[in-house]
Amino acid sequence: MHKQFLKLLAAGGRESRICSVKDMWIRSLTPRQAKGNALAVRFKIIAGAAPAVLFILLSTAGCSREGAGGISMERQREYANELYNRELFQQALSEYQRLLDLYPLDDNQQANIHFIMGNIHFDRLRDYENALAHYLKIRHVFPESGLQDQTGKQIVACLERLDRSADAKQALDEAASLDPAQVHQPRPGTVIARIGDREITSGDLKFLIGRLPESLQEQAGKREAKIEFLKQYLSAELFYDAARRKGLDNDKEVIEGAFEAKKSLMVQKYLQEEITSQVQIRPEDVELYFKANKDRYAEKDEKGHIKREKTFQEAGQQAAQDLLRERQQKAYEDIMRRMMLAEKVEIYDDRIE
């Protein structure tokens, strides 16, 4: 039997030889021996094969374009893309990772998937560290892929958002020396605009509008409003690119302003989380508040005399908003008082002119 295997290995392509040898081993088993999973079959092969055969059989997973569960590579990719299009980003990442783990992909296919995963982390989840990891893998593991130029730009963008300016400058210098030939990986959705080689898709537009406050999202729902929003977005991107080319990302005022903006956003986020956890309003609280403040919601004449008292059904929503605002203000003051005591803050009023 070993001689037959060695003859097979001597003829044909590498992958076909591996698959043929594997099939011969399986056919040599009795029905009882063949019953069971692939691991048992491989154990049979390993137990009786010559060393030269053994080495090659360890890589027979590449004989099929099907992964676990018999799902074809094309269907697995379509499923991952569908999750991406439906904005199920974490689930899409898991399925793209399955593509990498279970299917025989060439270097370009692997690089493309890492680029998609990097874009999900960067654009959708704002997880710049994981995005950077995928882009760096393309740079170092798949240097022959056509994504090097685009990947270099994304590496710079990640480093900038991670406040690693020196690393970003070095990466920018490295990117400038790369071959400009590139294959841009399209994002989900129909291409609705371009900035040079960068494509803006309907999926991008939907995501950007989804980040607006709810009141503005409703206004941007119509086609004309979407076009206007897209134009504003493109204008901002063009101005941003022009400012970067001018070196304004290193301007002292810009750096200071960016720091202050970041600090302000962090404070807002902190207060939002702290106050939200402390302020709870029940329907009965609103009703009691309304009864205690009926005069505030009554209709009045020019002299301030009450003409008609509104019912709870008429003024309940306004009362709920007022109660929420008052409780949020109280929570804010309590947080401030507590923190000032804990940090031993002192204010010298008499020294202020």
| pLDDT tens-digit map of 288-345 | 999 999 888 888 888 888 888 899 999 999 999 999 999 999 999 999 999 999 999 9
Q: What is the CATH number of domain 106-185?
A: 1.25.40
- Name which of 20-34, 58-72, 153-167, 228-242 the model is least confident about: 20-34
| Other beta carbons within 10 Å of 152 | 22
Burial class (CB in 10 A: 0-12, 13-18, 19+), 106: exposed
Q: Is the pLDDT of residue 210 over 60?
A: yes
State if pTM tops 0.75: no
Among 167, 168, 154, 162, residue whose Cα is nearest residue 119: 154
Q: So what's the pLDDT on residue 59?
A: 38
- Name which of 57-61, 62-66, 68-72, 222-226 the model is least confident about: 57-61
Digit-coded pLDDT (tens) for 70-79: 789 999 999 9
In the chain, which segments carry CATH 1.25.40? 106-185
194 bridge partner residues: 199
More confident residue, 5 or 118: 118
Mean pLDDT, residues 204-209 taken together: 87
Burial class (CB in 10 A: 0-12, 13-18, 19+), 257: exposed
Cα 284 from chain centroid (whole Å) = 41
Q: So what's the pLDDT on residue 96?
A: 95
Q: Is the pLDDT of residue 49 over 70?
A: no
Most confident region among 2-6, 249-253, 271-275 by mean pLDDT: 271-275
The answer to whether 102 touches 68, Cβ cutoff 8 Å, is yes
191 bridge partner residues: 201
Digit-coded pLDDT (tens) for 113-145: 999 999 999 989 989 899 999 999 999 999 888
Q: So what's the pLDDT on residue 60?
A: 40
d(CA 211, CA 218): 12
Mean pLDDT, residues 170-183 taken together: 52
Q: Is the pLDDT of residue 2 over 90?
A: no
Q: Is the pLDDT of residue 203 over 90?
A: no
Q: Is the pLDDT of residue 227 over 50?
A: yes
Q: Is the pLDDT of residue 86 over 80?
A: yes
pLDDT band at 283 (very low <50, low <70, confident <90, very high): very high
Q: Is the pLDDT of residue 99 over 90?
A: yes
d(CA 53, CA 46): 9
Beta-carbon contacts of 332 under 8 Å, excluding residues fewer than 6 positions away, are 271, 275
Q: So what's the pLDDT on residue 197?
A: 78
Average pLDDT, the chain: 78
Digit-coded pLDDT (tens) for 256-280: 888 899 899 999 999 999 998 889 8
Most confident region among 13-27, 143-157, 330-344 by mean pLDDT: 330-344
More confident residue, 255 or 182: 255
Q: So what's the pLDDT on residue 333?
A: 93
Beta-carbon contacts of 341 under 8 Å, excluding residues fewer than 6 positions away, are none
Q: So what's the pLDDT on residue 236?
A: 93
Mean pLDDT, residues 2-20 taken together: 43
